[in-house]
Structures are given as C-alpha cells and as structure tokens.
Amino acid sequence: MTAVDWQNLVQGVPSLLSGLLINLEILFGLIALGFAVGILIALVQVYSPRPLAALAVGYEWFFRGVPEMVLLMLIYFGLRQFQVRITPFVAAVIALGLRSSAYQSQIFRGAIQAVGRRQMMAALSVGMTRLQAIRHVVLPQALRLSIPPWSNEFSSVLKDTTLASAIGVIEVFKKARFIMGRNYALALPIFLVVALFFLFLTYAGNWALGALERRYRIPGFEAKGAGERF
Amino acid sequence: MALLVVEDLHKRYGKEEVLRGVSFELERGETKVIIGPSGTGKSTLLRCINRLTEPDRGRVWLNGVEVTSPRTNIYRIRAQIGFVFQDFNLFTHLTALDNVRLGLIRVKGMGKREATERAMRELARVGLADKADAYPAQLSGGQQQRVSIARALAMDPKLILFDEPTSALDPELIGEVLQVMIELAEAGMTMLVVTHEMGFARSVADEIIFMEKGVIVEQGPPEVLFTNPRVPRTAEFLRKITEFYGESG
Amino acid sequence: MGKRILVWVLPLFLLGLGAVGAEKYIVASDIPWAPFEWASPEGDYLGFDLDVMRCIAVLMGYEIEIRPVAFDSIIPAVVLGEVDIGASGFTITAKREEVVDFSNPYWLSNQAVLVRKDAAFKTLDDLFCCGHKIGAQRGTTGADWVQSNLVDKGVDVQLVLYETYPEAVLDLVNGRLDAVVQDEPASQQSISAYPELTVLDIIETNEYFGFLVASGDPKGLLRKINDGMYRLGLRYDLSLPAEGQWKVKFHIVPGSPWDYLVQAYFGPPLEKVEAAWKACIGTLYDETLTPEERVYEFAKCLAEKASG
C-alpha cells in the first residue's frame, strides 16, 4: 500500500463510523422489537391454552426457517405491495427484529421453564393472579437465567445488521464498498477495519452483558449450585 | 358452618383416581393432621382446597363461601388460605423480607412501610428477624421453611395448609420448624397438616385423619387412633410409621 | 433513532398532503462507478451524472436527494415509483425504453476491452477464444454485448458477472480474469488507478447514455432535464433513422458549465476532483447568486481546481 492508499484509508474511517452508527441503530431497534415480541411469544407458548400456543409455535417455526435475506425482501417488498411505504431501514429493523424474536422466544421459554411450575404455584398460593406471578416472580428469575444465551443472540444479530445493505440501507458494509470502489487497493484493508470494528463491538457488548449478569446475580446461588431448587 | 368444609372431592390423573370422595370439616382454631401412605392423594387434597389443582368433582367452602364455585374470586380465597410447601418454594430472587412482603404489597395493596413492618413482625415470630436480608440460597432448609411459614402468616390467613412441611429437611432441622407450628396451633391458628411426624400429630392435633387409596379410612382424636383405632388398617399403619420415623417433636 | 423516524415520516407527510413547498425528487445512482458517480473518502457523492443532476435541479428550481441503489435495482425502483430519476450511466436501449422513458442523450460511449499489459493479446480475436474469462458488471450493456455476440454465438469464452465494476477490475488485476468489458470512461479510470492495465481495443457500440424516468413521465421531469441540459451548454446534431441506432453528434458550447464539468471529470485523477469539489460545492448553493451564476461558477471552479 502506498502513502496515498493509507491516506485514503484513514480518510475513510469517519465515513465507516457514520455507517457503523446506522448498524447500531438497526441493532437497538431490532433487539428491542425481538425482546418485546419474544417475551410475548414465550409467555403465550408456556401459559396459553393449546390453540393459541400452537400459533406461537408456528410463528417461531416460520421466522427461524426463512433465511434472513429472504425475510428482508419479503418484508420490504411485501409491505410495499400493501401500499405501506417504509424505508429500507424500517424494513430491516422489522425483518431482523421479528426473526430475532423467534430465537429470543426460545431463550425465554427455556428460562421460564427452568424457573419451574413451583414458583408459579407459590405465587398463586399467596393470592396472586397469573399475570402478577409472571411479572413479579417468574420473569425476574427467567430474565436472569436468560442472560448467557441472550448474549449469544446479541452477538449474532450484531453481525446480521450488515445484511440491511441488501435492501439499500447505507450502513458500514455499503460504505466500505464505496471506499473500495474508489480505490481498489483498499479492498482488503477496508474490510479488515470493518472486521475490527465488529470484533470490538462484540467484545464490548459481551462485557456489558457480563456486568449485567453479575449485577443481578442471586446471592448464594452459585455456592450451592442448584442445591435448594428442586 | 365450620370454617372449612370439604365435600366429596374427586380427582383423577389420567387413569388413576387419586381422590375418591373425600369429605370432612375443620372448625375455627382446630388443628387436624392427615396421615397415610405416600401417594394416597394427601397433597392433592390440600391443593384442591385452594384450587391450585382443580378437583373433578366435589365442593369446598371457606367461611361460608363456596371456593369451588366458578363465580368465586379464587384469588381472594387463596389470599385467605396460607400454604406451606414441602420444598419451601421461596422466591429465589428475593430476600427473606421481600418474600414475606411481596404478597402484602402486590395482593393486599399495602404500602411499603406498613408491609415491611408487618413482614418483620412475622419473621421475628418465626425467629428469623436477623435473616431478613438473606437470600433463600443462603439459608438452611429449616430456615427457608420458617420463612415460608412467615410468608403464609403475613397474609393473615384464616387457615394454613401444610403439605409435608418437614419431609425435605435434614433431621436436625425438623425441630425448629415443628416448634413454630406448635406455637401456631397453641395460639389458635386453624391448621390442616399432612405429615409423617407422629409426635407432632399426637401432641398437637385435635383430630387425626387417616387416608389411604383416595378415601378417608378413619378419623378421630389422637388418643383414640393411637390406642384404640376402629379399623385394623389404621393400627397397622401407625405401627409401621412409628417404626420408621420414631416419635419426634 | 429520532432522525431516522423523521426522515421516514417527513416524505410520508409530504406525499400525503401533496408536497407543499419546493418539490423534491429522488435520484437513484449505482455508486460507485467513477467518474460518473462515486463516494469520496469523506462520504460525499460526486461524479459527472450527479453534478449534472445537481446543476439542473438548481437551474429548474427543485431539490434532489441522491440515493445509492444497486444498478439492476434502479429501473425496477423507477418503475415502481420509489425513486424518480435514474442517473447512472444508463445506455439507451430499446429494451429499456419498453419500461422507462429516457431523456435526450448526454454522453457517447463505446465499450472498452481492458486487459493486463503482460497478457500479450494483440487483437480482440486473440482474446475471444480459448475459454478465456471475460468479466462484466451484471445488467450492463457490456455484459449484454459479450452474451449476445460471443457466448450465444458459440464463441469459446466464459462470461463472469459481477455486482460492481471495481470487483471485476480487481479480479482482472489478480489474474482471475483475462479481460473486462466496460464503458470507456470507467475503463479510463481503471487504467489511471492500475497502470498495469491497458485497453486492448474499443468495440464500437455507439452507446448513448440517458437519464431515465418512469414510463409516461408522470412528474414532468424529462422536459426539465432536457431544458436543463440545454441551458448547461449541451447541443445536438440529431438524425433519427426509422429504426436502429441513433446518430447523434454532440456540440458542447465552449465555456459553458457543461464544458467545464466535462473537463473536470474526464481527465484529472479522482483525488484532485474530490479536493476541487469540496472547495467549489458551496458556490452551487450560494443564494446570493442567480441560478445561472451558481451553476456557472461552480462548474468553472471545479474545472480550474481539478486541472490546476
């Protein structure tokens, strides 16, 4: 690489960072959507009567079975068919968010089941409604249990945000392509830089989630293992 | 009418009929102990009383209100019935204090200060005021069970159901829990206890109910059952049980 | 995220109310394809197509938003009405005319065949045989030419398609391709970036570039674009045969904005153009000048700084 190439590379970094910001925006949008819908689907699957629970299973099955790219196209072009004009950004958040919700619902469902029926029974025995029991007893425990598998999902969808470029969102991957298109010598270096960005974000994210887990850890639990919870 | 009336309860799990027509009554202030071989539906009976398990047939009244009626607000009923589980079932993510407080705040709508006062009083009553900030995983089995009794007591119940409260405890911890239960009985709490602790049954129960295979075989005051039971099966069972568990409490 | 929502809600709002205020049109372009459109390292979109669009917008009194769209998604986007104008070095073809309407032509291009200097091809015949691999950008007339004139006619070559032109060039440089077929101007850019490449020959395809809008020109844009180009200094000698190839000769008014734009974009290296653009773009939006002045000063500034 020549001096000019290095110069171009450095000049391109702010552009990459502004693209990365878009990825982060997509990430937070999709994770929030995935979380809200995921918890809902998990609760429906665990606590609702059979027919409704079956719908939830069907939902999960669909969004986990369709490839992300296809999902992006379906949402983007599908909604436009129904005269709903959404930007590629919004379509990406919806498509990736719904997909994440299917995976997150699995995580939450596993966690809720790990908390166990007995906690629900104890809550009911003092007179709580199911909803109260879910809110004050089951979910607080389930969410704590969810953190490790959830941080996997986080790392995964962070990377998926680059797929938004397929429907025209100008995020970091697209920006890297622009830079590469202008100076072909930067093809490899620019993507190494992008890779470094993502490595850093993944690391930072996992660190933050680890801190969250430690903050909300139930004291005495690890010491006894699964001891008293039977 | 008696405080608790149970009439002809039936419950079937798949092919197996676990409760085959159980009826009895409990007056205010009475303590009755249910004994019998494992798997005879004793736990199921307790859970049917506050409809944690729905009975197939039969009716239950608490203080004149029909618990089993579909029109009844079952949540309000459950708040009046304390339940102590065999495996304690404390809320693991909450401290002892929070465990006892939760029902007061969320179900009874009490303010935080009032709820805390009340909760601390109950914890003191079971001898665990100093463990208020401990988490269940940091407590011994006996302590956890006592907290769970405090949790039930905090709701000011008309009746407390105990489902084998000491069966999951190490022998040296059983005593502290039984002690609390004895004090409660002597203070006039209405209690229905399923247990193998014969010593406790003998000294505290107003009446002992012997159940086997989903029906009540015999019921009567402890002196009668222990010394002169009507049904031979009762004598047989009592002998066996005393062999295995001794007379503690 | 607030800005995103605003960007989304605003056009909806305008669409719903019927666009109150200055009209705004969306121009779709496949970035990068130097020197017609590309992104500077700082992320500005510049290029001949784009600045012509900007100048016409200033002259005719409307606003544009430049949106990067993949090349073969532009025409579908125009047809569906998601974007208003396609400005991406589109060759005017009969096939495309079936679904979109073109402006007057603005550029004449032929296809250049790029090869490595050390490959020792002497003529096109040396290249068009022997299982050689020829690369082209998907959906372009270059790709079509190779397909219909070589592959479909049984000539022993392999057509390799790429999503963007620079990727094809990269493969050529790395030895994975034997040649790349692409419009002339873009090929010139590649050579200045990679001195080891050279143009083997020119295939005269007489391709004219045009800007495109949806069939029927629902927003009346073509007239504005054609007027704009005229006012920028582009003139024609037009002879239209009954069918087949257009025969157009361009006359560019010397010292006109069009003249300067051509000088700026077809010759100087990209870095100089970018530096010039950064320095001059303010002039284009200087409200103290008339639209004609703004356009003229901008183009002149660009040409002078880029060549200087």
Q: List, for residues C206-227, the tens digit of each pLDDT value.
A: 888 999 999 999 999 999 999 9
Given this model, what pLDDT does residue A222 score? 57
Phi-psi region of A64 (alpha: psi -120 to 50; beta: other; left: phi over 0): alpha
Q: Does any CB of chain C come closer than 8 Å to the CB of residue A23? A: no
Could you give the percent of chain C with pLDDT greater than 90?
54
Distances (CA, A) of B116 to B121, B147, B187: 8, 14, 23
pLDDT higher than 60, residue C1 = no
* Nearest Cβ partner for A15 among C33, C42, C270: C42
| pTM exceeds 0.90 for this model | no
pLDDT of residue A80: 79
Name, of A3-12, A18-27, C238-247, the range with top average pLDDT: A18-27
How close is the nearest chain B Cα to the Cα of A27, in Å? 30
Q: What is the tally of structural domains in chain A? A: 1
Nearest 5°: the CA angle A115, A117, A118 is 90
| Cβ contacts of B87 on chain A, cutoff 8 Å | 118, 230
Shortest CA distance from A30: residue in chain C: C1
Stretch among A110-124, B232-246, C74-88, C166-180 having the lowest mean pLDDT = B232-246
Cβ contact (<8 Å) for A25 and C67? no
Q: What is the DSSP letter of C33?
A: B
Cβ contact C43–A18 (<8 Å): yes
Interface test with A, best of B89, B100, B102, B173 (most A CBs within 10 A): B89
Residue entry with tokens 């069907």: A58
- List, in sequence order, every residue forming a beta bridge with C137; answer none if it has no partner: C162
CATH number at residue A80: 1.10.3720.10
Touching, C vs B (3+ Cβ pairs under 8 A): no
Per-residue pLDDT, B245:
65
Chains touching B, CB cut-off 8 Å, 3+ pairs: A
Distance CA B241, CA C289 (A): 106
Q: Find the helix or strand (DSSP H, E) in which C157 lies.
A: strand C157-162
Query: Is the pLDDT assigned to residue C203 strictly greater than 90?
Result: no
pLDDT tens-digit series, residues A201-226: 999 999 999 999 999 988 876 543 33
Mind giving me the DSSP string for A52-83?
A: HHHHHHHHHHHHHHS-HHHHHHHHHHHHHHTT
- Which residue segments constitute the domains of chain C, with CATH numbers given? 24-108+208-307 (3.40.190.10), 110-206 (3.40.190.10)
pLDDT recorded at residue A230: 34
Contact C194 A14 (CB under 8 A): no
Q: Residue A228 and residue B88: Cβ atoms within 8 Å?
A: yes
Query: Average pLDDT of A181-197?
Result: 89
Total residues belonging to chain C: 308
Nearest chain B residue to A119, by CA:
B89
> Which residues are paired to B178 by β-bridges?
none
> Taking CA atoms, what residue in C is nearest to A21?
C1
Q: What is the pLDDT of residues C128-143, one digit of tens each?
A: 888 899 999 988 888 9
pLDDT band at C21 (very low <50, low <70, confident <90, very high): low
Structure tokens at C41: 């390292």
pLDDT in the model for residue C18? 45
pLDDT at residue C242 in the model: 63
CB neighbourhood size of C65 (10 A): 13
Q: How confident is the model at residue A54 (pLDDT cuts 50, 70, 90)?
A: very high
Q: Please list, in sequence order, all residues whose beta carbon lies within 8 angstroms of the beta carbon of residue C118, skipping any fewer than 6 positions away.
A: C196
Q: Which domain does A137 fall in, by range? A: 3-215
Q: What is the pLDDT along chain B (249 residues), one digit of tens a residue?
A: 889 999 999 999 988 899 999 999 999 999 999 998 887 789 999 999 999 999 999 999 999 999 999 999 999 999 999 999 999 999 999 999 999 999 999 999 999 999 999 999 999 999 999 999 999 999 999 999 999 999 999 999 999 999 999 999 998 999 999 999 999 999 999 999 999 888 898 889 999 999 988 999 999 999 888 888 888 888 888 888 777 765 543
How many Cα atoms are found within 13 Å in the side-chain-facing hemisphere of C131? Answer: 1
**Residue A228: per-residue pLDDT:** 39
C-alpha–C-alpha distance, residues B79 and A129, integer Å: 11
Mutate to test the interface with B, among A115, A119, A126, A132 (most CBs of B within 10 A): A126
| Ordered DSSP codes for chain A | --HHHHHHHHHHHHHHHHHHHHHHHHHHHHHHHHHHHHHHHHHHHHHS-HHHHHHHHHHHHHHHHS-HHHHHHHHHHHHHHTT----HHHHHHHHHHHHHHHHHHHHHHHHHHHH-HHHHHHHHHTT--HHHHIIIIIHHHHHHHHHHHHHHHHHHHHHHGGGGGGGT---HHHHHHHHHHH-GGGHHHHHHHHHHHHHHHHHHHHHHHHHHHHHTPPTTHHHHTTTT--
pLDDT of A4 reads: 82
Q: How large is the average pLDDT for residues C294-299?
A: 95
Are the beta carbons of C58 and C227 closer than 8 angstroms?
no
Whether C112 shows a pLDDT value over 80: the answer reads yes
- What's the pLDDT at C7? 66
Q: Mean pLDDT of all residues in chain C? A: 88
Most C CBs within 10 Å: which of A8, A28, A182, A186, as the mutation test of the C interface?
A182
Which residues from chain B sit within 8 angstroms of residue A219, using beta carbons?
A: 135, 137-138
Query: Considering only CB atoms, which chain B residues are within 8 Å of A125?
Result: 50, 52, 78, 81-83, 85, 152
Comparing alpha-carbon positions, the chain A residue that sits nearest to C189 is A182
Reported as a pLDDT band with limits 50, 70 and 90, residue C241 is low
Does the beta-carbon distance from A178 to C43 stay under 8 Å? yes
- Determine, yes or no, domain membership for A226: no
Confidence at residue B74, expressed as pLDDT on a 0 to 100 scale: 94
Amino acid at A101: S
pLDDT at B249: 38
Whether chains B and A touch (3+ CB pairs under 8 A) is answered by: yes
- Indicate if the pLDDT at residue C127 is higher than 70: yes
Given a contact as 3+ CB pairs under 8 Å, which chains touch C? A
C135 contacts C180 by C-beta, under 8 angstroms: yes
How sure is the predictor about A227, in pLDDT bands with cuts at 50, 70 and 90? very low
Provide the 10 A C-beta neighbour count for residue C126. 15
Q: Give the mean pLDDT of A148-166.
A: 94
CA distance B64 to B2: 8
Q: State the pLDDT at residue C19.
A: 46
| Window from A215-224, C13-22, C137-146, C225-234 with minimum mean pLDDT | C13-22
Q: How far is A139 from chain B (nearest CA, A)?
A: 10
**Considering only A6-15, A158-167, B6-15, C239-248, which range has the smallest mean pLDDT?**
C239-248
For the segment C273-295, the average pLDDT, to the nearest whole number, is: 93
Using 50, 70 and 90 to split pLDDT, how confident is the model at A139? very high
- Mean pLDDT in residue range C227-252: 80
